[in-house]
Amino acid sequence: MLETRDLHKTYQAGDAKVDALRGVSLKILPGEIVAITGPSGCGKSTLLHILGALDTPTSGQAYVDGLPLHSMNDDALTGLRQLKIGFVFQFFHLLPTLTVEENVLLPLLLSGRADATGKTRAHDLLESVGLSDRRLHRPHQLSGGQMQRAALARALVHRPSVLLADEPTGNLDSASSAAVVDLLTSLARREKTTVVLVTHSVDVAAAADRRIGLVDGRIHS
Ligand code: ADP
């Protein structure tokens, strides 16, 4: 489902060069739930952003569902993101002026699929994450855990093949964190979605099928 070969990413910040990834090769199977762990600055987010077609590698190859991200143009990458990838972020990134339901529908609106079937799908997911009774609320009326559950519904509404989560529990207390991880893993298994999640938390990493440890831009374990 996901593969990288000798992936390198070098950032240029003024005169300084930062080698964020230094030859990462990995394979992630369809339906697998994989946690990427490692100290701050080791390249976890950079790897996730490349896998999610939000950033491009300096060299090496990255494939999603057999599609070569490293040789696709911006339009093709945008199309791939809209169809195949769902994102969950540490700070939720819900749009404050939209209701919970409108936020969840957003990926379908962007790809012209917010029809009756899409709305039923959004309602089903809101029920799965326990937010049916909050669908007309705005994000600021929700707790952190509820916001992340809404963000999870939004990430899955368009049936992506891959769910990418960057510190999905980094801004939650331990009870909300456990609830979000339970929902994320159970929904991903139900929908047969491949998951890559970046986390500092040992408990969150333990919920994955496999852990990949990065140190200094390389796979360490
Ligand atoms: P992690 O997610 O493991 O904390 P990152 O992937 O965010 O690590 O960053 C890896 C390295 O790349 C760090 O040294 C970071 O400072 C650097 N870096 C990340 N993004 C940029 C950028 N846009 N410009 C310059 N350096 C960056």
- List pLDDT tens digits, range 17-68: 999 999 999 999 999 999 999 999 999 999 999 999 999 999 999 999 999 9
For residue 215, the CA-to-ligand 1 centroid distance in Å is 13
Which of 10, 18, 24 is the best mutation target for the ligand 1 pocket, counting ligand atoms within 8 Å of the beta carbon and taking the most? 18
For ligand 1, atom 22, name the residue with the nearest CA.
Answer: 11
| pTM confidence score | 0.96
What is the tens place of the pLDDT at every residue in 199-211? Answer: 989 999 999 999 9
Burial of 63 (0-12, 13-18, 19+ CB in 10 A): middle
Q: Is the CB of 21 under 6 A from ligand 1?
A: no
The continuous run of DSSP H or E covering 148 comes out as helix 144-156
For residue 192, the CA-to-ligand 1 centroid distance in Å is 31
Chain CA centroid to CA 52, Å: 8
Q: What is the pLDDT of residue 113?
A: 87
The DSSP secondary-structure symbol of 201 reads -
pLDDT band for position 114 (50/70/90)? confident
Alpha-carbon distance of 92 to 66, in angstroms, equals: 29
Atom of ligand 1 nearest to the CA of 48: 6
